[in-house]
Amino acid sequence: MPRTKKRSGRGGQQGNVQPFSEDDASIETLSHCSSLSERTSAAEEAGETEEMAQEDFQYKLKVYIDSTVDKSAKTRQGALDGLKTAMATKILYEFISERRMTITDSIERSLKKGKGVEQCAAASLACLLCIQLGSGIESEEVFKTLKPVFKTILNDGAANIQARQACATSLGLCTLVAEDDIMVSVAMKALVRSFTFKWMSEFDYDGWEPLCEKLNALATDCTKHRAKTDKRKQRSVFRDVLKAVEEGDFQSETIRFGTERMVIDSWVRKRTYDAFREFVGSGMNYHLQANEFIRDVFELGPPMLIDSAALKAMKSSRLERHLYNAAAFKARTKARNKVRDKRVDVGEF
């Protein structure tokens, strides 16, 4: 008799299909729960890491504050520089507000007893402290304490020239910040702007040619005994001044920070921007985004809240940035070539 063929249970519809049991469901549920638990755990760990980093950062700031009264001038200098860097790159209002008088006392002590570089660092720190506190009673208290010290150093002919310059700059900027009402500052700037335009249109001056010659000399100064950075800054400033005097025009500039833009369209606005940037340095864009006081000064409105995903989506590509920088460089070069002296090769005689 022929053998009966056994049907294979492998593959096809003929095989025995095992039903989805409760054990399998529980295993899959446990898998999902485990994955969710891992994600939650990772988020918690990230939060804990961020919190620990914040605590470490605040601990360093406390060490800096304590070190500002150290006997060693080098240690005090390092502490002042550390506080300057922190205030220039982060918004630390809550932390600083609680310790503002302690920091103010340290600044006052360094201004009175320090020398040269330490006094300059203390004066710069005073400005950053006021910028962090913003316009109001707190910055007024700081300025009320430091104002007499600034004036004393400024009027002292025997004091270090860099320290006197730093105190003069800090005195001016702290005065702006410590106003009772920010609208007073805005009104003053508007008044200065309107007066400047009127003065440029109605002022009659016979010595324009000697003035332009002097400005041109400052714009092309090549004195060897001065630092390259100082000469570069001087030439850049006086090129713009010379152009404004000769052509009566101001070359506007657009500042981009995050997803926002700010147009600098007047000398008043440019000088204000440069004054703040002198102290916060590379952190200027961050302060333009997050510092309420600086945003009020430039009439930017309240800070915009944008998540990281939206910010990444709005960020321009590398090619777009390259093309933009190339176009800006070309325009800047053309503008500068108009006022630069044209050097012509002279043959040998």
**Directed axis angle between helix 100-113 and helix 117-133, to 10°?**
160
Is the separation of the CB atoms in 208 and 245 below 8 Å? yes
Q: Each residue of 163-196: b (16+ CB within 10 Å) or e? A: bbebbebbbebbebbbbeebeebeeebeeeeeee
pLDDT tens digits, 59-118: 999 999 999 999 999 999 999 999 999 999 999 999 999 999 999 999 999 999 999 899
Q: What is the pLDDT at residue 322?
A: 73
Amino acid at 264: I
- H helical segments located in 90-181: 93-98, 100-113, 117-133, 137-155, 161-177
- Domains of the chain are 53-179 (1.25.10.10), 188-337 (no CATH)
Query: What's the pLDDT tens digit per position in 241-277?
Result: 777 777 767 778 888 888 888 998 888 888 888 889 8
Write down the pLDDT at residue 122: 94
Mean pLDDT computed over every residue of the chain: 76
| Mean pLDDT, the chain cut into blocks of 10 residues (349 residues total) | 48 46 49 55 64 87 92 92 92 91 94 92 94 89 92 90 90 81 49 44 59 76 72 76 73 85 86 88 89 89 67 58 76 72 46
Q: Are strands 260-264 and 253-257 parallel, antiparallel or unpaired?
A: antiparallel
Q: What is the CA radius of gyration of the chain?
A: 31
Distance between CA atoms of residues 320 and 303, nearest Å: 26
CB 86 within 8 A of CB 125: no
Q: Nearest to residue 7, comparing CAs of 251, 15, 168?
A: 15
What's the pTM value of the predicted model, to 2 decimals? 0.64
